Amino acid sequence: MSLIMDKSVKRGYYTPAWLEEGAASYFEGCVIKADGTILKNNVAEHRLRSWWALEHSSRRHTLEELVAHVRNTGPDKNHMLSYEGEFYPYGWAFVYFLLNYEEGDRRVYAPPITPGQGIPSEYKETRKAGRLVYRQAYLDYINFFAKEGNKHNDQYYPLEIAKKIFVEDIGDPDVPNWDAFEDRWRRFTNSLYGEMLSGPEFADVLQARCRGYLLAEDYERARTSAEMADEKRPNDADTYQLLAMANEGEGLKGDAMYWMVKHWESVWQAGDEIATKEAEEWIASHGGKEILKNYIEPTKVALAATRKDMEGALEDGHPVLATLYATHAMQAFQMQIPDLIAQSKEMADLAGQDMRVWQAAYNLGSEANRKATTDSGSLVDVVLYEEDGVLIFNPEGWAAPGIETTTVSNLQFLTPPYSMRGEIQLDGEAAVIMLGIDRSGRAQIYLVFAKYNDIDDAILLKTVTYAVNSQEGQASLVPNTVGGLRWDRVDKIRFRLDVNEDGKGKITINDEEPIELPEEFNTRRLTGGFGITTGDGTAALFSNFQVRPSTAFWPVSVADED
């Protein structure tokens, strides 16, 4: 932007502040990928969160305040040409809107998406992406000031030109004036905030949006939408296929092949023969015959051999070996093959030996300890790994431990059935176990161990929903208590959670009679990561924290240097 405005600057004109700073903020959303490519047009989430917070505070700004900023007339007394920090989220939001608003954009005209309350069906319909209404107008605005400059360095001249280019020249009957234009921008940006807070179900919308971009041959936006879908809901075969199509359209042949192989893995392990065949044909026709020869075909042979070995082990009267064959194969494939999992469980039941072993979830050393800065500026320990467990401290004020998740790879994403057990020593108000954590870090279930009164402790079973009205920009986390149990206070709380395949189960406290999990606890909510933390002003020691996941586990000896 500085290069573009060079001639204007040399003539003594100051560039409208929002042009340079807005563009800088826009590119903060870019992601530099491992292969050196840059994923552009991504939402800068920290700017969006700040924008929403400002919008619903006493410091809310208008587009007029942004575009007609006083810095349009030159530097302040400190020789600063940029605007104040609270304008940066607005600069980002305005530039992102100008580059992304589409004709008839559903983010403005459709009912708002409210997480936890379902997604209107129209969002999931594939529709060819509409014309980008303001992109060329944005470029025209930049070119105008590159050539003409901010004449007389007038604070309000950039606003006058913005009204002409973005409202008068566009001539949209739905936007007859600047107020209507600003309303469209505000609705659009509020919708982005609702999308950001949405959970895995929003991947369906992003997939439909990606298909619309593919129809419009807008491959960069197609790739961005597909990658966002992968963030919302990983391991989705349709997303992998869309990523392959988008990367192919952009001419990124290597990436396209990678994602199609991921798509093949997903549909193959799911037993979808038609989709598997189509993926193999695509791979072959796009220069992947070596991949078919050296990876796909040998993997098929290995799976067939594994199944044969499992049958042989059963015939020889060693069903537990069948379970081991299946477990080792899936570890080697890095896949979860449904029929192998089912057969493995059947063989384990037949052998009377459950191969789902308990594993320590928090078993690290002092290298994992963390400190945080208190309100006074001093450092305090908030996470301490010790011989008797992990101690988490949440002091009053800004310092906080966050959520402590496990580093054990096969425990990072749990799918029922699974079990969890451990001990908690509580000093303060509450210790919390969060379940069903999705890729965005949001938990769906809270197990809150808390002081009930002066003599009793209790566990509160909570579900969590995110209520968002993206059109009005209102969002809140809503915890709902759906069950619980109270007991006489003890020095150490022992707990055990057992979850069945259907999401039902029980929780046991201090070896007392277990209670059934509430019906609000279901497979969807119980699927995901887990973490532990504490309430304000609370220290809690989590010891002997173990998890037994849904799949069998068998240790493999570490290979030597050969």
Q: What is the pLDDT of residues 500-547, one digit of tens each?
A: 989 899 999 998 999 999 999 999 899 999 999 999 899 999 999 999
pLDDT tier at 57, thresholds 50, 70, 90: confident
* CATH code, domain with 428: 2.60.120.200
pLDDT tier at 79, thresholds 50, 70, 90: very low
Please tell me the total count of domains within the chain. 2
Which of 181, 198, 215 delimits the end of a domain? 198
Model pLDDT for residues 314-332, shown as the tens digit of each residue: 999 999 888 888 888 888 8
Model pLDDT for residues 162-213, shown as the tens digit of each residue: 999 999 999 999 999 999 999 999 999 988 988 888 878 899 999 999 999 9
Peptide bond into 16 cis (omega under 30): no
Task: Please state, as a whole number, how many other Cβ atoms lie within 10 Å of the Cβ of residue 34.
Answer: 5
* Long-range CB contact pairs, 266-272, < 8 A, 24+: 266/235, 266/236, 266/237, 266/240, 267/237, 268/300, 269/333, 269/335, 269/336, 269/337, 269/338, 270/237, 270/338, 271/338, 271/339, 272/237
Torsion of CA 229, 230, 232, 233, to 10 degrees: 110
Share of the chain above pLDDT 70, in %: 94
In a domain, 276, yes or no: no
Average pLDDT over residues 112-121: 76
| Pairwise pLDDT comparison (444 vs 151), residue with the higher score | 444
Q: What is the mean pLDDT of the chain?
A: 89
In a domain, 92, yes or no: yes
pLDDT tier at 441, thresholds 50, 70, 90: confident
In a domain, 235, yes or no: no
In a domain, 518, yes or no: yes
Per-residue model confidence (pLDDT) at position 80:
58
Average pLDDT over residues 294-299: 96
- Res 294 pLDDT > 60: yes
Which of 169, 198, 227 delimits the end of a domain? 198
pLDDT tier at 76, thresholds 50, 70, 90: low
Q: Go through the chain and tell me how many residues it has.
A: 562
- Res 478 pLDDT > 80: no
- Res 422 pLDDT > 50: yes
pLDDT tier at 562, thresholds 50, 70, 90: very low
Per-residue model confidence (pLDDT) at position 481:
93
Q: Number of helices (H) and strands (E) in the chain: give both, helices first.
A: 19, 17
Domain enclosing residue 186, as ranges = 6-198
pTM, full prediction = 0.76
3-state secondary structure 26-74: HHHHCEECCCCCEECCCCCHHHHHHHHHHHCCCCCCCHHHHHCCHHHHC
In a domain, 538, yes or no: yes
Per-residue model confidence (pLDDT) at position 153:
87
Cα–Cα distances in angstroms (integers) from residue 15 to residues 4, 25, 91, 162, 208, in the given order:
10, 16, 14, 14, 39
In a domain, 287, yes or no: no
Q: In what order do the strands lie in the sheet with 529-534?
A: 404-405, 529-534, 430-437, 445-451, 456-469, 474-488
In a domain, 466, yes or no: yes
Per-residue model confidence (pLDDT) at position 212:
96
- Reading the block at residue 413, the tokens are 């994403």
Instruction: Judge contact between 473 and 122, C-beta under 8 A.
Output: no
3-state secondary structure of 479: strand
User: Residue 464: enclosing H or E segment and its boundaries?
Assistant: strand 456-469
pLDDT tier at 466, thresholds 50, 70, 90: low
Per-residue model confidence (pLDDT) at position 174:
95
Which of 198, 217, 244 delimits the end of a domain? 198
Average pLDDT over residues 407-426: 92
In a domain, 163, yes or no: yes
End-to-end CA distance of the chain: 55
Reference 485, options 449, 539, 525; nearest CA is 449
| Pairwise pLDDT comparison (558 vs 366), residue with the higher score | 366
